[in-house]
Chain A
Amino acid sequence: AQTVTQSQPEMSVQEAETVTLSCTYDTSESDYYLFWYKQPPSRQMILVIRQEAYKQQNATENRFSVNFQKAAKSFSLKISDSQLGDAAMYFCAYRSTGNQFYFGTGTSLTVIP
């Protein structure tokens, strides 16, 4: 079975600085998708960024980018120029070829003004 591990329960970053959230996963599949979701206190999950495993190029969405290391099964999220609105729980997720999703336990990000 696939597992997703987020080893940082909590992280903090100074406003305007850069922070990297870690995620590793375990799988025997070769074709899959990876995601980062943001869950603010409102509880609404929001997709931040996604990466197809067959693509070598790292995905980027404005201030958010990933470092996808397929061989190492690592998928970290970098947030540049952090803003107060970035404060939330961030979840790493894996989608299997069987359309099942596996989520990590989350990293709580605090942005310090």
Chain B
Amino acid sequence: GAGVSQSPSNKVTEKGKDVELRCDPISGHTALYWYRQSLGQGLEFLIYFQGNSAPDKSGLPSDRFSAERTGGSVSTLTIQRTQQEDSAVYLCASSLGLSNNEQFFGPGTRLTVL
């Protein structure tokens, strides 16, 4: 596609349920990033992938959060046993490579945990 796409655009779930957020990066982009943006806040860096590898997972807020990337393309961010404080917009971005600094962002997934 022309840009980074994310699905779903909005997700409402009940506390305790698992959710899976998807990111389709721009074709050919080897680097992929996940961020969380809470209401009125800046972006919180969660994790990045170079290819299928995530060298540093320390930015993930808790062990309920996990992310994977397969085939060097699509990535999924999974949140298990969701809590109300997980409510936020989750943004994905991709870039040609780690040495290329221009990240292209997707439109985000707005997650609401009731």
Contacts and interface: CB of A to CB of B under 8 A. Distances in A.
Interface in B23-62: 31, 33, 35, 40-45, 48, 50, 55-56, 59
A113 interface: no
B112 interface: no
A110 B89 CA distance: 23
A91 B98 contact: no
Nearest to A6: B42
Interface residues of B, number: 24
B69 to A, nearest CB: 15
Given A99-B31, A106-B41, 12 more contacts: A45-B105, A47-B102, A50-B101, A91-B42, A99-B55, A101-B43, A103-B43, A103-B45, A105-B40, A105-B41, A105-B42, A106-B42
A102 B41 CA distance: 12
Interface of B: 31, 33, 35, 40-45, 48, 50, 55-56, 59, 89, 91, 93, 98, 101-103, 105, 107-108
Contact of B59 (A6, A100, A105): A100
Interface string A2-35: 0010100000000000000000000000000101
Interface in A35-76: 35, 42-47, 50
Interface residues of A, number: 23
Nearest to A89: B42
A95 B41 CA distance: 18
7 contacts: A95-B101, A99-B55, A99-B56, A99-B98, A100-B45, A100-B59, A106-B42
Contacts of A93: 43
Interface of A: 4, 6, 33, 35, 42-47, 50, 91, 93, 95, 98-106
B105 A44 contact: yes
Nearest to B42: A103
B43 A91 contact: yes
Given A42-B107, A44-B107, A95-B101, A101 B33 contact: yes
B96 to A, nearest CB: 13
Given A91-B42, A105-B41, A43 B56 contact: no
